[in-house]
Amino acid sequence: MIRHLSLKAYGKINLGLDVLRKREDGYHDVRMIMQTVRIYDHIEIDLRREPGITLSTNLFYLPVNENNLVYKAAKLLMDEFGITQGVSIRLKKIIPVAAGMAGGSSDAAAVLFGINKMFHLGLSQQELMTRGVKLGADVPYCVMRGTALSEGIGEILTPLPPPPHCKVLIAKPGISVSTKAVYEHLHANELKPDQHPDIDGIIRAIRAQDLADMCCKMGNVLETVTLRQHPVIRSIRDFMMEHGADGAIMSGSGPTVFGLYSDPDAARKTYEQFHYGSSSELAKQVFLTEFFNNKNHFTQGENQ
């Protein structure tokens, strides 16, 4: 039995996000292009003799009980398999919180992976994904990772080839956005045809390895809600486009904005502008990173 695991939980962005309709059950049917990026939270899991789950984090405002997806993920598998030993989980958050980057879902996915490995439960990736949807619509994708078309409520996943290489500049303003509130204000059944991004066009551009075409077709229908409520998101997006980005849109329900750069020097200069220049007041958290498509991405080290 493994006594210690050190895990990486990677964030994601949406190269395209379309909402097709609101369903009678209150959920929304979506079509999204999901992409993992090289920004990750650190998770340490240690085996304990005492039963139960203890959770600690580096952010004082995050819950450390059953209201945290990390706790829920561990409890889900430990209850199902009748695990009587306990675990101690330490979560170090790097991915911005409530930012449209699936940080909480990714943390939950990493813990599902970790508990499965620690206790030799033998669950396949697909079996972990099936359990993950009970925790949240993004969790199955966060188990799989890479580049994927996401449909249904987010649980129907089709792997795609990695997109063209580029630099990814990520900027989150000093606000948080409720995904639930954004969807509540989205009138999905009243959207005009030109408000829907070209998801199929993005997929064709990815397959053709055409970064310029992919960037031209990127879009996020949730911007119709969030940009009206938070103009700073538009300001960040416009700043990136004015400073060399091939394309820039909001990720998820926001407020994080990402820009894709074929020119690494332009990406670096814009990153520095967000930190030290005239736009330093726009964003509170800024990262310069890349796409991540390594399937063996969770474990960074373990001790037996």
Span 277-291, pLDDT tens digits: 666 789 999 999 999
Out of 8, 12, 72, 217, pick the active-site residue. Answer: 12
Q: Which pLDDT belongs to residue 277?
A: 67
Burial of 216 (0-12, 13-18, 19+ CB in 10 A): middle
Long-range Cβ contacts of 204-211 (<8 Å, 24+ apart): 206/15, 206/33, 206/147, 206/160, 206/161, 206/162, 206/163, 206/164, 207/160, 207/161, 209/163, 209/164, 210/164, 211/163, 211/164, 211/166, 211/246, 211/260, 211/262
Using the predicted structure, report yes or no on whether residue 304 has a pLDDT greater than 50. no
pTM of the predicted protein model: 0.93
Span 237-269, pLDDT tens digits: 999 999 999 999 999 999 999 999 999 999 999
Q: How many CB atoms lie within 10 A of CB 203?
A: 22
Using the predicted structure, report yes or no on whether residue 300 has a pLDDT greater than 70. no
Using the predicted structure, report yes or no on whether residue 233 has a pLDDT greater than 80. yes
- Give the DSSP letter of residue 158: E
Q: Which pLDDT belongs to residue 25?
A: 80
Confidence of residue 188 (pLDDT cuts 50, 70, 90): confident
Q: Is 12 noted as a catalytic residue in this protein?
A: yes
Out of 18, 41, 107, 138, pick the active-site residue. Answer: 138
Confidence of residue 24 (pLDDT cuts 50, 70, 90): confident
Q: Is 284 noted as a catalytic residue in this protein?
A: no
Using the predicted structure, report yes or no on whether residue 93 has a pLDDT greater than 50. yes
